[in-house]
Amino acid sequence: MDKLAVLGGAPAVPRDQRSVAWPIITEEDRKAVLAVIDSGELVSNSDTPTAVDDLEARFAERVGVARCVGLSNGTTALQIALAALGVGPGDEVIVPALSFIASGLAPLHQMAVPVFADIDPVTFTLDPDDVARKITGRTAAILPVHLHGMPADMAPLRALADRHGLVIVEDAAQAHGASYHGTQVGALGDAAAFSLQVTKNLPTCGEGGLLTTNDEALAGKIRMIRQFGEVIEAGKPRDYVSYTLGWNSKLNPIQAAFAASQLGRFDDYEARRQANITAFLDRLRPLPGIQVPAAREGCTHAWHILRLRFDPAAMGLPGVPPAALRGALRRVLRAEGVPLSQYQLMTLPRQKVFQERTGFGNGYPWAALDGETPPDAGHPVAEAVIEDSLTLQKRHLNPDTGDLLQRYADAFEKVWSNRDMLTTLARAER
């Protein structure tokens, strides 16, 4: 039995194999960026097509939707989707209790109140039964997050939305290329928000966002909202008339060109990632006490983040608290060269902004609900997941990490064959 690195043994992942780039930046990407700079078309509100129009057309085709609109980032895409669909003050938006903070902030930016529903313990996406319990007369929208690349269970959510007259805005920021029963994410809701932030599966050289929809009129409204409420038409000079409340939330052509260049390689990267990650997870699955992520029946997973849950009793370590075990595993596996981290230290409803209700002015938007606060029986599943899981991020997105992931699997197997030591190591945690 090999000695654990944390006790002075040789680490399972050799040091010179650990550093991995994401995103991968090629000569092609550099040329695409320079071509925009040389073209002089540096903003998207032009009367001639820019790199933003090109990316929008290509991404709409990739997702299989009528329209795509480039926006400054994924958070803005979520907010503008809600704005264009008419969600505003006095409305409630149902959001999963486990997500990146932006999913909870976007309703607030529209002066709507986010109401948190619990998640499924295996897929980490919205639990439709808890969504049903959270619907009130003020609910206007459901905001399912395809968390970590796993599509949310859209069929029951769509049924609920139809029954109660709600709109659905997908948060697809982590799920480019994932599909649900043959339909790409981004084509499942009334509108969907994607992020092009540099760490995402389809990255740009900085910040960016894309909004997709099959509703052409909605897309037109979104184009106005991103440009001060103006209408910009090809071949016509700008008239500076604002027809609706708008912001300045456009995607930059340089960033669009970089993302379009990355999109050209996306399907190749995606296929290789699927092979690497499946082979890695297949080696973890037999180890007792690890819950390995899996795609729901009929779905493809985009594997943006790999979240592993650990069960002390199933590992043969009864009596070790999950958080202590997680802390010990994090320390021991990091020493072996596996860069595990905690992604989200708390559920969304525990974030200070929602606890202290520091929104606009004197407690708005909550104050607009006439003192009535939405029902909330807690989020036990999301809390448990935060308590007993660790994540792998970013490196596995690089399609050349098949071997590295196999070394990670070596490290897990090594730690599992030494797992009796974890009881002692877990006692030293906190």
Ligand X SMILES: *Cc1c(COP(=O)(O)O)cnc(C)c1O
401 conformational bin, left if phi > 0, alpha if psi -120 to 50, beta if neither = alpha
Query: Nearest distance from residue 228's CB to ligand X, in Å?
Result: 20
Which residue in the set 99, 201, 227, 398 belongs to the binding site for ligand X (CB under 6 A)? Answer: 99
Determine if 174 is a binding residue for ligand X (CB under 6 A).
yes
Contact 353, 105 (CB under 8 A): yes
Q: Which is nearer to ligand X, 50 or 195 (CB)?
A: 195
**Contact between 82 and ligand X per CB under 6 A:** no
| C-beta closer to ligand X: residue 195 or 401 | 195
Binding mask 152-171 for ligand X (x = CB under 6 A): -------------------x
Please give the Cα distance from 177 to 62 (Å, whole number): 8
Going across the sheet that includes 92-96, the strands are 67-71, 209-213, 191-195, 167-171, 139-142, 92-96, 113-117
Q: Which residue is nearest to ligand X (CB)?
A: 74
Which residue's CB is nearer to ligand X, number 148 or number 414? Answer: 148
173 near ligand X, judged by CB under 6 A: yes
In angstroms, the Cα distances linking 228 to 50, 67, 222, 251, 380 are: 19, 20, 10, 14, 42
Whichever of 173 and 205 has its CB closer to ligand X, that residue is 173
* 74 lies in the site for ligand X, by CB under 6 A: yes
- In sequence order, which ranges of 181-294 are alpha helices (DSSP H)? 216-225, 253-284
Q: Which of 100, 228, 258, 408 binds ligand X (CB under 6 A)?
A: 100
CB 388 within 8 A of CB 286: no
Query: Looking at beta carbons only, is 212 or 423 nearer to ligand X?
Result: 212
Q: Taking the CA atoms of the chain, what radius of gyration do you get in angstroms? A: 23
Distance CA 139, CA 130 (A): 14
Among residues 102, 187, 281, 411, the one that binds ligand X under rule CB under 6 A: 102
Angle among Cα 349, 352, 357 to the nearest 5 degrees reads: 85
Minimum distance from CB of 343 to ligand X (Å)? 10
Among positions 103-142, residues that touch ligand X (CB under 6 A) are: 103
Eight-state DSSP code of residue 150: P
Q: Which residues of 273-302 are buried (b: 16+ CB within 10 A; e: fewer)?
A: bbebbeebbebbeebebbbbbebbeebbbb
Smallest separation (angstroms) from ligand X to the CB of 412: 25
Indicate the residue among 45 and 393 with the shorter CB distance to ligand X: 393
Look at residue 284 and give its three-state secondary structure: helix
Q: Which of 145, 178, 188, 340 binds ligand X (CB under 6 A)?
A: 145
195 near ligand X, judged by CB under 6 A: yes
Catalog residues that contact ligand X under the rule CB under 6 A.
Answer: 73-75, 99-100, 102-103, 145, 171, 173-174, 195, 197, 207, 209
